[in-house]
Structure 1
Amino acid sequence: MIILAILATLAGIAGLCWLLFNLAVFALPLFAGIAVGSWAHATGAGIPGAVIVGAIGAAVTFGLFQLLLLAARPAWIKLVVILAFVAPAAIAGYHATLGIVKLTIPSDTWQLVFSIVGAAAVGVTAFMRLTMMAPPGPAGQGAARAS
């Protein structure tokens, strides 16, 4: 039974880490949705109305991201848009890693080191996922044309 509990705990930790990496991409839309939902609740929309308004706010934020990637022509503008989404993901990764290592590592220095490594890992993962969402450049650009 003890071995099964250890394996179940490791599976749970692995599942939470997988969830963190998958959801880190959506840190900015989540924050926007929570902010808009909190505002709606404070203005008297009630809990169901706040949830609906928050979900719409998160969807609009992610849709705006997709639109900006589609409409932006220069690569540096696309990079700025992607970095606007990567920064909150890296911050979320830092705090998630810090929360985990505070439970297991007593040294403050090592907690900081592991948290920075976790932030970098989540930031790089979010960057890679977001660059895969970016549409390719116009056809024929950068390639030699056969005449």
Structure 2
Amino acid sequence: MFLSVLLSVVGLGFLCWLLFSLAVYALPFFVAVTVSYYAFENGAGPIVAIAVALFAGAVALILGQVAFATIRSPTIRLAIGALYALPAVLAGFHAVKGLSETGGAGETWALVLASIGAIIVGATAWVRITSLAGPEIRQVA
């Protein structure tokens, strides 16, 4: 019995680590799935659809990172950061809500925990996307 509790805690910890590690990739994943589905529905085979999905996801990730790192306008950087963080918030909300309901929490507590989890996952995604810009170079006048 002790071993099963220990393995459950380790498994839950692994899922939480995975959630935080993959939070910043929610938007590229969504782009990849959407483009793959579109390609498959328009006659591409499964292999081509997977290849197109990998390419589209990589392009979405790389373009976002390059744009955030090179653009210096705070408004545009805020929009790019929000574009990457908001899907992570949604993914974090649903992941924590599902884990809470699986753990036996009531509906109210599941929503409270899911909201807290969404904020934490969104903040993590925001920190990861902003860390791609590197240190600011300040010029002394």
Between the aligned partners of 1:94 and 1:60, the Cα distance in structure 2 is 26
Deviation at 1:50, TM superposition (A): 0.8
Query: In structure 2, what residue type is equivalent to 1:80?
Result: A
Q: How many residues align?
A: 141
Query: Partner of 2:59 in structure 1?
Result: 60
Residue ranges of structure 2 left out of the alignment (5+ in a row): none
Q: Supply the RMSD in Å over aligned alpha carbons.
A: 1.4
CA contact 2:69–2:132 (8 Å) conserved in 1: no
Query: Partner of 1:114 in structure 2?
Result: 113
Query: Partner of 1:46 in structure 2?
Result: 45
Between the aligned partners of 1:30 and 1:53, the Cα distance in structure 2 is 12
Query: In structure 2, what residue type is equivalent to 1:33?
Result: A
Higher deviation after alignment, 6-15 or 101-110:
101-110
Query: Partner of 1:140 in structure 2?
Result: 138
Deviation at 1:106, TM superposition (A): 4.1
Residue ranges of structure 1 left out of the alignment (5+ in a row): none
Query: Partner of 2:91 in structure 1?
Result: 92
Larger Rg: 1 or 2?
A: 1
Deviation at 1:62, TM superposition (A): 0.8
Query: In structure 2, what residue type is equivalent to 1:46?
Result: G
Could you report, residue by residue, the CA deviation over 1:1-32 in whole angstroms, capped at 9, with x for unpaired residues?
x2112111111110011001000110000000
1:131 aligns with 2:127: no
- Runs (4+) off by over 4 Å: none
Between the aligned partners of 1:98 and 1:140, the Cα distance in structure 2 is 43
Query: In structure 2, what residue type is equivalent to 1:112?
Result: L
User: Given the two structures, how large is their TM-score scaled by the length of structure 2?
Assistant: 0.93
Q: Which has the higher contact order (CA 8 A, sep 6+)?
A: 2
Between the aligned partners of 1:35 and 1:55, the Cα distance in structure 2 is 11
CA contact 1:25–1:89 (8 Å) conserved in 2: yes
Could you report, residue by residue, the CA deviation over 1:49-98 in whole angstroms, capped at 9, with x for unpaired residues?
11100010101111110221133121221121111100000000000011
